[in-house]
């Protein structure tokens, strides 16, 4: 991200939530504090959002990204774009977000995490590989995985989300997927060495001309 911003100061950075990318955001903020990166003109685009959580809820992804990305980088909400998870017409909000991404020139670098089931964004298994930003229902497994952000109480985890579609994600110029820990090993192996198939949404990265996967030893342990 720092290198990209050196080349293109007003780059549009696509950011994921979840725990995996947090050290990346902290490292980028440290580079900024040390004067080694300039993010002053960077723009930040959200990958996905819960439906029905007010934006000020501490676990809405807008709040999480404000806390973990915008504030540490010294950026304001004017540098930020994301889907409206509280819209009454969710479908229209999704279409508006796809149009806004295109009007902003497209995402230059999209950082992705990966679910234990191979999801990217909140494109759960069997999502169309050509999908656009839309409303999705979370699987029980993902709600269980995310309950840790809601005091361990799964009843607090929303059932629905807006997510950039896989087709939308594939339009970013560079995809960087991060995976850490043994729990991601099956998903990483299916992503890299399995067939391109909707059952593992991250396998769509095989179709992208510029995709990078960064995995620690544990997450890479099931690669052949």
Footprint of ligand F6R (CB under 6 A) = 16-20, 47-48, 113-115, 119-121
> For ligand F6R, which is the closer residue by CB, 17 or 191?
17
Q: What is the SS3 assignment for 18?
A: coil
* Calpha distance 58→75 (Å, rounded): 18
Integer distance in angstroms from the first to the last C-alpha of the chain? Answer: 29
Closest CA to 207 of 166, 162, 163: 166
Least distance (Å) from ligand F6R to the CB of residue 121? 5
Contact 164, 48 (CB under 8 A): yes
Q: What is the set of active-site residues?
A: 48, 117, 119, 124
> For ligand F6R, which is the closer residue by CB, 108 or 145?
145
Least distance (Å) from ligand F6R to the CB of residue 71? 18
Task: HSE, CB side, 13 Å, CA atoms: give it for residue 100.
Answer: 19
> For ligand F6R, which is the closer residue by CB, 11 or 110?
110
Strand partners, 49: 162
Closest CA to 157 of 45, 13, 57: 57
Least distance (Å) from ligand F6R to the CB of residue 99? 21
Q: Element (H or E) spanning 137, and its range?
A: strand 134-137
Q: What is the SS3 assignment for 68?
A: helix
> For ligand F6R, which is the closer residue by CB, 39 or 127?
127
Closest CA to 83 of 101, 103, 57: 101
Least distance (Å) from ligand F6R to the CB of residue 162? 11
Residues in the chain: 224
- The C-alpha angle with vertex 29 and arms to 23 and 31, in degrees rounded to 5, equals 105
Least distance (Å) from ligand F6R to the CB of residue 81? 15
> For ligand F6R, which is the closer residue by CB, 39 or 47?
47
Q: Which residue is nearest to ligand F6R (CB)?
A: 113
């Amino acid at each position: 991200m720092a290198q990209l911003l050196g080349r293109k100061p007003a780059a549009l950075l696509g950011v994921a939530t979840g725990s995996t990318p947090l050290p990346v955001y902290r490292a980028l903020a440290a580079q900024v504090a040390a004067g080694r990166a300039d993010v002053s003109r960077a723009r930040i685009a959200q990958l996905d959002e819960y439906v029905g959580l007010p934006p000020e809820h501490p676990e809405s992804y807008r709040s999480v990204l404000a806390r973990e990305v915008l504030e540490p980088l010294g950026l304001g909400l004017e540098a930020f774009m994301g889907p409206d998870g509280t819209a009454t017409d969710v479908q229209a909000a999704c279409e508006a977000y796809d149009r806004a991404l295109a009007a902003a020139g497209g995402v230059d670098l999209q950082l992705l995490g990966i679910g234990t089931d191979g999801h990217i964004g909140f494109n759960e298994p069997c999502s169309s590989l050509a999908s656009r930003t839309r409303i999705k229902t979370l699987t029980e497994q993902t709600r269980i995985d995310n309950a840790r952000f809601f005091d361990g109480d799964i009843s607090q985890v929303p059932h629905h989300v807006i997510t950039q579609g896989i087709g939308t994600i594939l339009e970013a110029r560079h995809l960087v997927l991060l995976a850490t820990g043994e729990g991601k090993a099956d998903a990483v192996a299916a992503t890299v060495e399995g067939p391109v198939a909707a059952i593992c949404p991250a396998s769509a990265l095989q179709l992208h001309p510029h995709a990078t996967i960064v995995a620690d030893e544990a997450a890479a342990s099931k690669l052949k």
